Amino acid sequence: YFTSIEEKMPLSAAPEPKRRFVPSKHEAKRVAKLVRAIKEGRILPYKPEEEKEREEEEKEETYYDIWANEEPQPFNVMNIPAPKLPPPGYDLSYNPPPEYLPTQAEKEEWLKQDPEEREKEYMPAKFDSLRKVPAYGELVKERFNQGEDDSDFEGSEGSDSDNDSAEFDGLEGSDVEEDEDEDDGFLSEDIPSDGEDARKDGKISAGDDEDEGPSYRIVTDANGGVRYEYDEIDP
C-alpha cells in the first residue's frame, strides 16, 4: 500500500529467494515449444507483403534438375565413340589472313554451287573482335553428319564380316562335299584304273591290253572299309 510516511527500515529482513536469480524452467519450456513450432512450419514469422509476393513468384519459376539423382555409369563395351573432327585451319579464324578470304567472284561461285559440290561447307569471314562472331549455324548439321559417319563405319564393318562369313561358309560347304565323297569311297582320285590295279597285283603283264583288264567289284566291310575284289585271270 502507499503511505505518506516514508519507512527508513524494511518491514521484513528476509533474504531474497533463490528463484529470483535462477532462469525459469517454465519459461524455457514455453520457448522450446515455440521454437519447435517455428521449425515445423506451424508458426510462420512475420514477413512484409512485398517479400511474400516475391517468394511466391520465385516458387512458380523454380526449375528442377531431372538428372540430379542419376548415378554416373561406365561406358558400355559396345560403345563406339564418334570419329574426331579435324583440327581447324587458318580460314576458320575470326580474323584470318587476307589470302584466305574469298573474293566477290569466289563468293558468288560458292553460292551457286550445290552443297554436295562445294569443297568446303563454310565460307571464311573476318570480324573485328571475337565478341562480334555470331553463332555457327552449321553446328547441328555437322554433329549429325559426324554421327552418320559413325553409323557408316559400323555398316562397313558388318558388310565385311558378312562377306567373310559367306566366303567361309562356301569353303566349308566345299570341304564338306569332299569329305562326304571320301566317306563314300567313290572319289575319282582314290579309285585306280583297271590296268594299274592289275599291274600292282601281278595278274597282268605290261604287254597285255589294258583296255581288256580284269573285272572287279567293290566290297564294303562291316567296319566301313572298302576293298576291291578281282576275278581270276587265266595264265
Distance separating alpha carbons of residues 167 and 171, to the nearest angstrom = 6
pLDDT at 45 over 70: yes
Single pTM value for the model: 0.32
Q: State the pLDDT at residue 80.
A: 79
**pLDDT (tens digit, 9 = 90+) per residue, 136-189?**
888 888 888 877 765 554 444 444 444 444 444 444 444 444 444 444 444 444
Average per-residue pLDDT in the chain? 74
Distance separating alpha carbons of residues 118 and 33, to the nearest angstrom = 78
Distance separating alpha carbons of residues 157 and 154, to the nearest angstrom = 5
Cβ atoms of 124 and 91 within 8 Å: the answer is: yes
Distance (Å) of CA 33 to CA 14, 23, 66, 178: 36, 17, 38, 97
Q: State the pLDDT at residue 207.
A: 43
- Per-residue pLDDT, averaged over 44-56, amounts to 86
- Per-residue pLDDT, averaged over 27-42, amounts to 94
Helix (H, G, I), strand (E, B) or coil at 202: coil
**Percentage of the chain exceeding pLDDT 90:** 24
**pLDDT (tens digit, 9 = 90+) per residue, 118-133?**
888 888 999 999 999 9
Cβ atoms of 96 and 102 within 8 Å: the answer is: no
Q: Which residues of 7-28 are buried (b: 16+ CB within 10 A; e: fewer)?
A: eeeeeeeeeeeeeeeeeeeeee
pLDDT at 105 over 50: yes
**pLDDT (tens digit, 9 = 90+) per residue, 199-208?**
444 444 444 4
Task: Count Cβ atoms below 10 Å from residue 183 Cβ, excluding itself.
Answer: 10
Q: How confident is the model at residue 218 (pLDDT cuts 50, 70, 90)?
A: confident
Helix (H, G, I), strand (E, B) or coil at 227: strand
State the Cα torsion 144-145-151-155 to the nearest 10°: 150
